[in-house]
Structure 1
Amino acid sequence: MRLTLARHAQPLVAAGVCYGALDMPADLQATQQAAEALAQTLSTGVRMLCSPLQRCELLAQTLQGLRPDLTYKTDLRLREMNFGRFEGQRWDSIAPGLLDEWTANFWQHRFGGVESVAELMARVASVWGEALSSAQPQVWITHAGVIRAATLLDQGVRRIDRAQDWPQAAPAFGQWLVLPPHPRTNAGG
């Protein structure tokens, strides 16, 4: 399996705003530039899955316009984490105690009341498992949180109890990373 994890281009949202599942467009010029660069790296026959949020679909559609051989399918499992009542709020306006509650129970706490890290990891693990069982190269057009979850899964990590163990690194807007193929084990000897 060769998996390319591509992050949408810069969303049209003010800096410092919590926008996980908030559906907003991405910058058109930045999306075009990202698509042009990514289109050159993708092999023929790659399977493209896309978050249903418009900032990701715009990149998938732009890629498809440049490379008609590429088609995409939206997959709800690739959407960003949902921060519930905090969506659209400035991070610095969220009471520090609420952030502390989340970090104290990082795996199970539903920050914003909708989704926990455990639930995010479970849905990403589901699509990850399908990708591992496929010999077809894939590209996911998705979000930083999903990419971070996938990199943990790639390392064999299935659970994160401490907030400080959540990966900080992720591709910049409009960038991607490629996870190399992993050798398959032969259980039969």
Structure 2
Amino acid sequence: MKDIYLIRHTTPAVGKGICYGQTDLDVTESFMDEADIIRQHLPSPFSSVHSSPLQRCSRLAEHLFPGQDHQIRLHNELMEIHCGQWEMRSWDDLPKEEVEPWMKDFVNIRIPGGESYLDLHQRVTKTFTRIREDAAGQKGPIAIVAHGGVIRSILSHITGTALIDSFKVFSLHYGCVIRVYGPPEGLQYEMLSNQAPLEKEQHKPKSFYSGNAD
């Protein structure tokens, strides 16, 4: 199987403590520096590039693979989890009667007006499998530029990790680069770059970090 490089987007322009998923956030002023670090861990050329259509991913794909813009394929299925009625609201302001049940079973319970983690996992793994199958006749590696939830879902899929454990098992910082390799029946992964930011990400409830997240 062709190597697949999973690339998480750079730091998004959003305040701390804000719940976001499919909101189309811009990148920050550190975008170029973060992208340069990512590029150091990528081979060249790639046979195909796939990305979430949200600009924090698509802009990175265009920047990392200049001259291959026509080959960048955007997939709605690679977008982050849909946070529904919680999008762009402070976690502290969300109704406890909605958040607490979700915290206990975020895999199966849907965010009001949005998705569960299982919903995301199902659409992501179908798309990941299709990307792999479509690349069967290609020579070079494949790039997927996506979000933390999407990449955790893929890693859970290939390693057999329970979704409930994925935030504890896979610590993924902005701009991380992961190489997936091996035969289809025994995929493995290698973390190539995963630099911790100066400040910890704070776009989940504080209790989520202490319990289920990185």
Instruction: Tell me, in whole angstroms, the C-alpha distance in 2 between the residues paired with 1:184 and 1:79.
Output: 26
Residue identity in the other structure for 1:53: L
Match of 2:106 in 1: 106
Q: Which moved more, 1:103-112 or 1:87-96?
A: 103-112
Matches within 5 A, 1:70-85: 71-85=71-85
CA contact (8 A) 1:31 1:58 kept: no
Residue identity in the other structure for 2:8: R
Residue identity in the other structure for 2:13: L
Q: Which residue among 119, 139, 142 is the counterpart of 1:138?
A: 142
| Equivalent position SS for 2:89 | coil
- Asked if residue 173 in structure 1 is aligned to residue 174 in structure 2, the reply is yes
Q: Which moved more, 1:96-105 or 1:46-55?
A: 96-105
CA deviation profile, 1:44-66 (whole Å, cap 9, x unmatched): 1331111011111111121133x
Cα drift, residue 128 of structure 1: 1.6
Residue identity in the other structure for 2:166: W
Instruction: Tell me, in whole angstroms, the C-alpha distance in 1 between the residues paired with 2:114 and 2:59.
Output: 26
Instruction: Tell me, in whole angstroms, the C-alpha distance in 1 between the residues paired with 2:100 and 2:185.
Output: 41
Match of 1:43 in 2: 44
Match of 1:21 in 2: 22
Q: 1:59 to 1:106 in 2, by over 3 A?
A: same
CA contact (8 A) 1:32 1:59 kept: no
Normalization by structure 2: what TM-score? 0.74
Cα drift, residue 178 of structure 1: 1.5
CA contact (8 A) 1:8 1:31 kept: no
- Asked if residue 117 in structure 1 is aligned to residue 117 in structure 2, the reply is yes
Q: 1:145 to 1:183 in 2, by over 3 A?
A: closer
Cα drift, residue 171 of structure 1: 2.7
Q: 1:100 to 1:156 in 2, by over 3 A?
A: same
CA deviation profile, 1:66-118 (whole Å, cap 9, x unmatched): xx246311111110001101010112222333222214443332113221222
- Asked if residue 151 in structure 1 is aligned to residue 152 in structure 2, the reply is no
Stretches of structure 2 that go unaligned for 5 or more consecutive residues are: 187-214
Instruction: Tell me, in whole angstroms, the C-alpha distance in 1 between the residues paired with 2:184 and 2:102.
Output: 37
Question: When the two structures are aligned, how many residues end up with a matched partner?
Answer: 178
| Equivalent position SS for 2:6 | strand
Residue identity in the other structure for 2:58: E
Cα drift, residue 25 of structure 1: 0.4
| Equivalent position SS for 2:30 | helix
Q: 1:107 to 1:173 in 2, by over 3 A?
A: closer
- Asked if residue 34 in structure 1 is aligned to residue 41 in structure 2, the reply is no
CA contact (8 A) 1:125 1:150 kept: yes
Stretches of structure 1 that go unaligned for 5 or more consecutive residues are: none
Normalization by structure 1: what TM-score? 0.82
Overall identity of the aligned pairs, in %:
28
Q: 1:104 to 1:37 in 2, by over 3 A?
A: closer
CA contact (8 A) 1:147 1:170 kept: no
Q: 1:138 to 1:79 in 2, by over 3 A?
A: same
Instruction: Tell me, in whole angstroms, the C-alpha distance in 1 between the residues paired with 2:46 and 2:6.
Output: 16
